[in-house]
Amino acid sequence: MKTIDELLTEGVAGRRVFVRADLNVPLDGTTITDDGRIRAVLPTVAKLAEAGARVVVASHLGRPKGAPDPAFSLAPAAARLGELLGADVAFATDTVGDSARATVDGLTDGQVAVLENLRFNAGETSKDDAERGAFADRLAELADAYVGDGFGAVHRKHASVYDLPARLPHYAGYLIATEVGVLKKLTTDVKRPYAVVLGGAKVSDKLGVIDHLLEKADRILIGGGMVFTFLAAQGHEVGASLLQEDQIPVVKEYIERAKERGVEFVLPVDVLVAGEFPDMKTKAPAHPATVAADAIPAGQMGLDIGPESRKLYASKLADTATVFWNGPMGVFEHPDYAEGTRAVAQALIDSPAFTVVGGGDSAAAVRILGFDENAFGHISTGGGASLEYLEGKTLPGLAALEG
């Protein structure tokens, strides 16, 4: 895989360099609530601009249905990129149309432009190779070289991620190079003990990575909504908690395999429960009760791990050498259910281990709960991409850069 440093050595002054970034930031209307992904691509964009490239940044945002939708415009992200760069950033109001061509043609050496949301064109996400390829052809007309730096999208076989690199000289940006380097530390020559903390709502979203990690990890700590399927698999009542009954047989199999392989599954010993889901708009006090994890009352739903579980999880992370964390322990966005996630984050900081926060909600929680990002070994920008890499899958965007 060629890197951006090789491109810079070749020389980029006056050349149009297409940077596939991941500017898929959360928005409240037009206000960005977390600019972490924009800051993550900043080193690549700034370095190219400093070297005199005419930088064309492109990304998706959200899930528009192949047509323009103002709710998913990249205009706020373009404005924020300009603020972080300390320079004006041009914005094209389409992806490959008149505005895109005019905007790119108007760039001078060292200037940066952002194209409108790539998913406003159906060709970006099409499963039809010809339709996707046709869109990639039009994108290629806007550039002389391609830099892949949108790690959060490399697990997608999309035109700008998979097809476009084949049409241009292609290189990995600083972010992707860093992400891949970190993930290799979790898959080859792993320093032990190696613990994995998995949370989030659905166990079905994590089955692939659990299956793979049973061959790699020493401990797997489970939290979030997915924990209740594990508790049910052990024969416990879970009340009105989130439960995927169809996954119970698979979970039972994983628990048995873990025992056979000497992998420690760690489940909560107590949980916070309430009769209803908290009001996420007003964040009104929820007044949860703490109950034993194997004695959740009927009609009550578990929404976070309890105080004894927080101590347990911290103790299981204290002597580790490597930790990967993906998924919150509870409904961390509400203050009454944030302490489990906070405890895991703090345990990672306190641990001597090389710690990786696997993107998505975990990365958002680190920022929302006010932790210093530099206190962790690495915070990934791609939750889904990180998980698929750890599952051993071939990621289309990485394969395209290696080709």
Instruction: Tell me, yes or no, if 306 is annotated catalytic.
Output: no
Other C-beta atoms closer than 10 Å to the C-beta of 125 total: 22
State the Cα–Cα distance between residues 230 and 218, nearest whole angstrom.
Answer: 18
Instruction: Tell me, yes or no, if 299 is annotated catalytic.
Output: no
For the chain, the residue count is: 403
State the Cα–Cα distance between residues 249 and 60, nearest whole angstrom.
Answer: 37
Catalytic residue among 123, 306, 327, 360: 360
Catalytic residue among 39, 202, 252, 367: 202
Instruction: Tell me, yes or no, if 37 is annotated catalytic.
Output: yes
Instruction: Tell me, yes or no, if 384 is annotated catalytic.
Output: yes
- Sign of the four-CA dihedral 149, 150, 152, 155: negative
State the Cα–Cα distance between residues 148 and 170, nearest whole angstrom.
Answer: 7
8 A C-beta contact, residue 295 and residue 260: no
Strand order of the β-sheet with 264-266 is 264-266, 219-222, 194-198, 322-326, 354-357, 378-379
Other C-beta atoms closer than 10 Å to the C-beta of 367 total: 15
Catalytic residue among 16, 20, 37, 156: 37
DSSP string, 166-222: GGS-EEE-HHHHHHHHHHHHTTSS--SSEEEEE-SS-GGGTHHHHHHHTTT-SEEEE
State the Cα–Cα distance between residues 311 and 254, nearest whole angstrom.
Answer: 25
DSSP-assigned beta bridge partners for residue 356: 324, 378
> Which positions ≥6 away from 390 have C-beta within 8 Å?
183, 186, 187, 209, 212, 213, 324
State the Cα–Cα distance between residues 129 and 140, nearest whole angstrom.
Answer: 16
State the Cα–Cα distance between residues 24 and 235, nearest whole angstrom.
Answer: 40
DSSP-assigned beta bridge partners for residue 16: 54
8 A C-beta contact, residue 111 and residue 122: no
> Which positions ≥6 away from 272 have C-beta within 8 Å?
288, 289, 290, 302, 303, 304, 305, 306, 330, 336, 337, 340
Strand order of the β-sheet with 145-148 is 89-91, 112-114, 54-58, 16-20, 145-148, 170-172
Which residues are designated catalytic? 37, 202, 360, 384
